[in-house]
Structures are given as structure tokens and as C-alpha cells.
């Protein structure tokens, strides 16, 4: 007997097959359109990729467009430029960049600004350290902290790798917002002072560089005022005059910067990318935001250090030798001042941390902002790993870096152990015998 329902059944089956195929194709297209890491395509107006990569760091090139594919949405920007960024990092194979829009523009929901930086994370196979350090600074509720977002970068169609796009440390309405026309942003530059156009020296021969000022015509007077207060700070810190110190500085910004630098074991913390700002001559000196962490977290100068370093334990490398030096006085006799190599370290934090009231404030701020939040930070790291893993693997293959999973696991383990150590250290911190501290 012939089945009279067969043709209808076949037709329904055909529709089901077609629907499954369409759904599958649509699903694949949606996955492709929404990568975990946004894709940034930069197109140079006239120059080649090789022209940009081989040019001097400060040579600027016009971009005909910036195309951003984020969460499946493609946005195109025009009227912007690109140039190199960094000092030693510009000499590396993977280059960092600065992009500048002609008008203030928001990327990834950041507050509008003209300038953004593309960090290469050259010395960090995990590609996580700058992002984790910025999250720590956010946790500490520092006055001004930066935002960042990962991108897979292409220039003229040439894949450049995984980059960390961040806001630039500068004065401005949506950056470090200061009201005075004499407001000034100053960097202590102890590694690359020989590359700066002009260096103001302090009484301790530190090199201070003006990075930004609201009104450039007022630089001379503004810097004279800053230097006067900075010199008073050096003297007050040396003599442990905490009452005077409180008149001169925003204590909490210094204490939070110390916590950030100490947690990450940042070897450059008091030598380079060490930023101060002042909102006019009547304002106190503020410290921060933190910057440049790809050699931190027990890497580079701190690669032989474990997570359990006490504040006065032997530590003979990096800028934190002020606190950890096997022979602090010898270290600073050779390192302080400009010297032939142009290297200098600021001694201010070394003096401050010897003062019981400052140490007590450091402990209070740790207990307020960081204590008990280890799982929050680890969850943040896990989310980053999930987001960037595929991109980081491609990046590390291109630039012949260490295996991403190995580097990421090591960082996560180190951060966990470091956090556990500091939890115990600050919760049960004993009185510190001043005889433990070597005098200069």
C-alpha cells in the first residue's frame, strides 16, 4: 500500500535540513564577527609598515583609517596619526605605539581623549602583567588610575600581535583632571635621562622631567614651585619630620603607590616612569599613577625572588633595593645621582617607609583596600586568560616568546602566593626594630 504522507514528510525533512544548515552558518558567522579580543586595523595613508617600524620613535605618520572590530561591531575612525612610543622598548622587535586622534574620541567606553598607547608587553610572555597591575591600582582606589583593553593589531594588513591599548598618563579633563593653569605632571626619569630634552635636578641629583602642564607658558614658575616643595620633601623625609611631610604630600597617594610597587615587585618603581603631579603651587605633591609593569611580578630584575619577601629582607636587585638591599647604603652610594650611566633612583620612598606613622598608614590602606580580596584578583586573572589565550598564543608564536600557558600559570601561581603572604604579613605585622634599617 502506498504511503500518501511520504511527500509531505520529505518536504518537512528538507526544510529541517535547510534550517539546520542556515543556523550552523549563522552561528559560525556570529562567532567570527565577535572575537574574544577586539581587532584593530590601522591603515597608513602613504607609508609602508616597514617605514613606520624602522623610523625614529618620534616620527609621526598619518593614518587613513582605524577600523575596530569589537563584539561583532565594526567602527571606523579617521583623521589620526601614529608614532612610536617608549624608550628601551622601541629598540625591541615588537614595537609599542601612540595613536592620536584630531578630536577627543572614546575607545571601548573610555573617557574621551586624543591620545592612546598600544603597549607591546615585550618582556611579558603572559601578556597579563600590565593589566593585572592596573587592576590592583583600581582596587587600591588611587586618585587617578588607567583603563586598558586588549587588541589584535594589524598595520596595513600585516599582523603585529596582541597589544594592550591604554590611556596615556597626561593632564586633561578626562585623564588627570587638574584645575590650575599651573598644574603640572612631572616624571622622575632615572633610566633614560640622557634622552630627555631637559632635566631639572633636585638637591639629591634626581632628574625630573616635565611631562605635561596646563599652560606651557607657566612652566618655569610652576616647576620652580614644584622643585621647592620637592626639595623640602627630601629634607623632611631624611629627618623623619612626619608633620612637615603631611603638609607637603598627599600621604595616601604615596602609600598606595608603595603598596602597588611592593605587591608587584616592580624593579622600575622608583627609577623610571615614576610620576608626580601638583594642582598649582598651593597644592600638595601627589604620586601616581603607576606605569610599566611588564618586568614586574618576579620577572627580569626580580626573576630570582620568591613571593615571600619581607619588607626588610635581603633583596639586592631592582629599584626596591631601597627596602630590600643587602647593603642599602652601598647600593645608594652607587645608584643615587645621575652618574655616567644616567641612572638614578629616588630615595624619598626609602626614607618614608622608615617612618612609623607612614608605615602604619601603608598597613591601614592594605587592610582597607586589598585584604581579603585575593579571590577577586585571581578571578580577574582567570577571565583575562580566557579572553586573550588564543590571541596570546599567536602573538608568542610570531615573536618567538615563551609558551603562553606556562607563563600565565606561573604568573597566576606567583600572584596567589604573593597575595597570601601579604595577607599574613599585614594582618600580623610586628613592630619594626629601627636597627634593622641601614642608614645612608
* Residues 64, 61: Cα–Cα separation, whole Å: 10
pLDDT in tens, 353-367: 889 999 899 999 999
At a CB cut-off of 8 Å and minimum separation 6, what does 196 contact? 189, 207, 209
pLDDT grade for 436, boundaries at 50, 70 and 90: very low
Query: Stretch 324-349: mean pLDDT, rounded?
Result: 45
Q: What is the pLDDT of residue 15?
A: 56
Average pLDDT of the chain is 82
pLDDT in tens, 390-418: 999 999 999 999 999 999 999 999 999 88
Q: Taking 70 as the threshold, does the pLDDT of residue 421 lie above it? A: yes
Q: What is the pLDDT of residue 266?
A: 84
Contact 61, 81 (CB under 8 A): yes
pLDDT in tens, 171-181: 999 999 999 99
pLDDT grade for 129, boundaries at 50, 70 and 90: very high
At a CB cut-off of 8 Å and minimum separation 6, what does 71 contact? 34, 38
Rg of the chain's alpha carbons, rounded to an integer? Answer: 25
pLDDT in tens, 209-245: 999 999 999 999 999 999 999 999 999 999 999 999 9
At a CB cut-off of 8 Å and minimum separation 6, what does 142 contact? 253, 256, 257, 260, 288, 289, 290
Which residue from 424, 385, 377 is spatially nearest to 136, judged by alpha carbons?
377
Query: Hey, which bits of 59-206 come out as E strands?
Result: 61-70, 73-77, 80-84, 97-105, 113-119, 148-155, 158-167, 184-188, 200-201
Burial of 119 (0-12, 13-18, 19+ CB in 10 A): buried
Q: What is the pLDDT of residue 307?
A: 57
Contact 309, 265 (CB under 8 A): yes
Beta strands across the sheet bearing 207-213? 200-201, 207-213, 184-188, 274-278, 286-287
Q: What is the pLDDT of residue 103?
A: 97
Q: Taking 50 as the threshold, does the pLDDT of residue 3 lie above it? A: no
Cis peptide before 353 (omega within 30 of 0): no
Q: What is the pLDDT of residue 265?
A: 85
CA distances in angstroms from 198 to 190, 192, 205, 225, 351, listed in the order given: 13, 12, 14, 17, 27
pLDDT in tens, 269-324: 887 888 999 999 999 999 999 999 988 887 644 554 555 554 433 333 333 333 33
Amino acid at each position: 500500500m502506498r504511503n500518501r504522507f511520504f511527500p509531505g514528510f520529505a518536504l518537512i525533512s528538507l526544510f529541517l535540513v535547510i534550517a539546520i544548515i542556515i543556523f550552523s552558518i549563522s552561528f559560525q558567522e556570529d562567532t567570527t564577527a565577535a572575537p574574544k579580543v577586539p581587532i584593530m586595523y590601522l591603515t597608513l595613508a602613504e607609508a609602508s609598515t616597514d617605514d613606520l617600524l624602522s623610523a625614529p620613535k618620534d616620527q609621526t605618520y598619518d593614518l587613513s583609517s582605524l577600523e575596530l572590530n569589537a563584539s561583532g561591531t565594526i567602527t571606523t575612525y579617521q583623521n589620526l596619526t601614529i608614532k612610536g612610543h617608549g624608550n628601551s622598548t622601541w629598540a625591541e622587535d615588537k614595537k609599542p605605539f601612540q595613536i592620536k586622534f584630531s578630536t577627543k574620541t572614546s575607545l571601548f567606553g573610555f573617557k574621551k581623549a586624543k591620545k592612546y598607547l598600544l603597549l607591546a608587553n615585550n618582556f611579558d610572555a603572559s601578556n597579563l602583567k600590565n593589566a593585572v597591575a592596573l587592576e590592583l591600582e583600581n582596587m587600591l582606589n588611587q586618585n587617578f588610575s588607567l583603563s586598558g583593553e586588549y587588541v589584535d593589531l594589524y598595520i596595513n594588513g600585516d599582523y603585529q600581535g596582541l597589544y594592550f591599548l591604554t590611556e596615556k598618563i597626561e593632564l586633561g579633563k578626562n585623564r588627570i583632571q587638574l584645575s590650575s593653569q599651573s598644574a603640572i605632571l612631572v616624571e622622575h626619569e632615572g633610566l633614560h635621562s640622557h634622552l630627555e630634552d631637559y632635566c631639572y635636578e633636585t638637591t639629591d641629583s634626581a632628574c625630573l622631567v616635565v611631562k605635561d602642564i596646563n599652560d606651557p607658558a607657566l612652566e618655569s614658575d610652576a616647576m620652580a614651585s614644584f622643585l621647592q616643595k620637592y626639595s623640602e620633601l627630601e629634607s623632611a623625609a631624611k629627618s623623619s619630620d612626619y608633620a612637615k611631610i603631611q603638609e607637603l604630600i598627599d600621604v595616601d597617594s604615596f602609600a598606595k603607590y608603595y603598596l602597588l610597587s611592593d605587591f608587584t615587585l616592580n624593579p622600575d618603581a622608583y627609577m623610571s616612569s615614576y610620576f608626580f603631579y601638583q594642582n598649582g603651587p598651593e597644592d600638595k605633591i601627589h604620586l601616581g599613577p603607576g606605569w610599566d609593569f611588564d618586568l614586574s611580578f618576579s620577572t627580569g630584575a626580580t626573576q630570582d625572588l620568591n613571593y615571600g619577601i619581607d619588607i626588610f629582607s635581603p633583596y639586592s636587585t631592582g629599584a626596591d633595593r631601597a627596602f630590600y638591599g643587602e647593603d642599602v647604603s652601598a647600593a645608594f652610594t652607587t645608584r643615587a645621582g645621575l652618574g655616567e650611566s644616567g641612572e638614578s633612583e629616588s630615595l624619598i620612598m626609602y626614607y618614608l617607609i622608615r617612618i612609623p606613622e607612614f608605615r602604619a598608614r601603608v598597613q591601614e590602606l592594605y587592610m582597607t583596600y586589598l585584604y581579603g580580596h585575593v579571590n577577586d584578583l585571581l578571578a580577574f586573572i582567570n577571565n583575562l586568560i580566557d579572553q586573550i589565550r588564543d590571541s596570546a598564543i599567536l602573538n608568542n608564536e610570531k615573536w618567538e616568546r615563551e609558551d603562553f600557558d606556562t607563563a600565565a600559570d606561573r604568573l597566576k601561581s606567583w600572584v596567589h602566593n604573593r597575595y597570601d603572604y601579604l595577607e599574613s604579613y599585614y594582618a600580623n605585622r610586628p613592630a619594626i626594630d629601627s636597627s634593622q634599617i641601614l642608614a645612608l
